[in-house]
Amino acid sequence: MFHKEGYKIILITLVLAITMSLAADYFIINDYLRSAFMLLAIVMLVLVLQFFRNPKRNLNISEDNVVSPVDGKVVVIEEVFEKEFFNEKRLQVSVFMSPINVHVTRYPVAGEVVFSKYHPGKFLVAWHPKSSEENERTTVVVSSKKFGNVLHRQIAGALARRIVNYAEKGQQVTQGSDSGFIKFGSRVDVFLPIGTKLDVKLNDVVKGGTSILASI
């Protein structure tokens, strides 16, 4: 199963891979070189297919939990001053996605979208200290029953060249449902109230919609 954001790119890559293979078969005489060229076309297609995969998940839905919005590794856990929406200190949990991770972004909590904003910007590597403020990004805040306002921020990385955000202010959303998609590697930050009990630690590997970041 593939995500809808990848349909166009998958089709283009498939046509390109077929064209490369046919051209290699017709124009390249050397057997080894022809096989290598065809293999390159297949590898390119496989990489694109695995990037846009969207596997079915048994979502961990509960008002008492905040689930990870994406697949990846927990790279930041710290108290920071969040100045775009809260204008106060919050507990930040950041998950870094490599190009081989599933890149669907999911809502960490259920509730009403009270804020959704896109920011154009740079494409610094996702772990750069200033990437959360200077890179292309989107900020979404969902008002939940148990945790109050929970902010998650999609941040583009050095390879990411497009962030897709489905959240609209006033929308009622379900925990674990699609919030957006980041193409080709990035990071997502989650901002929680100070004192929130975390269920993850640095370098933990998490899965979007199933791994619990925090709980009551």
* Active site (catalytic) residues: 186
Integer Cα distance of 44 and 65 in angstroms: 38
Under DSSP, is residue 91 helix (H, G, I), strand (E, B) or coil? strand
Reduced to 3 states (helix: H, G, I; strand: E, B; else coil), residue 64 is coil
Pair of tokens at residue 192: 């929680």
- Identify whether the C-beta of residue 203 lies closer than 8 Å to the C-beta of residue 93: no
DSSP notation for 99-137:
TTS--EEE-SS-EEEEEEEEE--B---TTSTTHHHHB-E
Q: Which spans in the chain are helix H?
A: 7-27, 31-51, 131-134
DSSP state at residue 5:
G
Q: Which two tokens stand for residue 193?
A: 């109230």
